[in-house]
């Protein structure tokens, strides 16, 4: 397995899109507190790969993930407070090593606010998807199952609870909406992803926002929200390229 990731950290105030500013009310401002331009090593990421043929490289500002099986890439720092994660993702055909899944577009996925049941950092796992079933976390699978589902789940530690989602007819669960062009991956088309985690207020009880491009696909206003923890990129039998990874805080 080849791995060469590069990272840089900065603390500059970021000029944010209006959509992001809506959840960060004045007088507070969005401030970039961490970033990875994929030019300075793997120090802040932890890799879990199910198959040793997985290849993760970072050069010229691009994190390139090509894997025949399950893979998770954990951002090492703990995240808390009112924060957002932003990055740009591009899906490409899965590598030849994926065997019967070679060539498919699938699985731009992520865990966030993940904590073990005792509140500690997620312990190392094999990269096999079922190994995360006991990890309390939020999870989005965008274009999963060969680009036929896009779902938001809450892992409670004892079950993978479907909160809401989109699916093609034969794979749809009760209450899910049909898949649309906005909920699918498109080969070679960059997509900006934003995850917002914030403390709910009386004026705005929404604590979770998940956006793909200009489309806010998921929001939640739960009484017992998960508001801190760890983040991971997650995929399987796929190829993804990630750019411009940022952590922002509303301060």
Domain boundaries, the chain: 3-250
Q: Is-contact 104 147, C-beta < 8 A?
A: yes
Cross-strand bridge partners of residue 3: 56
In this prediction, residue 12 carries a pLDDT of: 32
Q: Give whole-number Cα distances, 171 to 132, 168, 190, 234, in Å.
A: 22, 6, 26, 21
In this prediction, residue 225 carries a pLDDT of: 95
In this prediction, residue 5 carries a pLDDT of: 35
pTM of the model: 0.91
- DSSP code at position 98: G
- The tens-digit pLDDT sequence of the chain (251 residues) is 443 333 333 333 333 443 445 789 889 999 999 999 998 777 789 999 999 999 999 889 999 999 999 999 999 999 999 999 999 999 999 999 999 999 999 999 999 999 999 999 999 999 999 999 999 999 999 999 999 999 999 999 999 999 999 999 888 999 999 999 999 999 999 999 999 999 998 889 999 999 999 999 999 999 899 999 999 999 999 999 999 999 999 99
Neighbours of 130 (CB within 10 A): 10
In this prediction, residue 42 carries a pLDDT of: 78
Q: Which fold has domain 3-250?
A: Jelly Rolls (2.60.120)
């Amino acid at each position: 397995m080849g791995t060469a990731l590069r990272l840089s950290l900065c603390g500059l105030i970021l000029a944010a899109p209006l959509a992001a500013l809506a959840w960060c009310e004045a007088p507070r401002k969005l401030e970039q507190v961490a970033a990875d331009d994929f030019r300075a090593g793997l120090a802040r990421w932890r890799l879990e790969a199910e198959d040793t043929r997985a290849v993760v490289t970072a050069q010229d500002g691009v994190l390139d993930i090509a894997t025949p099986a399950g893979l998770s890439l954990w951002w090492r720092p703990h995240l808390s407070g009112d924060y957002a994660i932003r990055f740009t993702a591009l899906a490409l055909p899965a590598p030849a090593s994926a065997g019967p899944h070679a060539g498919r577009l699938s699985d731009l996925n992520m865990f966030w606010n993940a904590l073990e049941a005792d509140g500690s950092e997620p312990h190392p796992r094999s990269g096999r998807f079922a190994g995360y079933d006991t990890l309390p976390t939020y999870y989005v699978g965008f274009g999963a199952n060969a680009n036929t589902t896009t779902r938001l789940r809450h892992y409670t530690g004892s079950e993978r609870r479907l909160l809401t989602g989109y699916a093609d007819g034969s794979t749809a669960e009760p209450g899910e909406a049909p898949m649309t062009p906005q909920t699918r991956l498109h080969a070679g088309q960059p997509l900006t992803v934003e995850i917002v985690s914030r403390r709910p207020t009386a004026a705005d009880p929404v604590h979770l926002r998940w956006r793909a491009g200009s489309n806010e696909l998921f929001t939640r206003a739960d009484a017992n929200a998960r508001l801190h923890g760890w983040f991971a990129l997650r995929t399987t039998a796929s190829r993804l390229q990630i750019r411009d990874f940022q952590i922002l805080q509303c301060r």
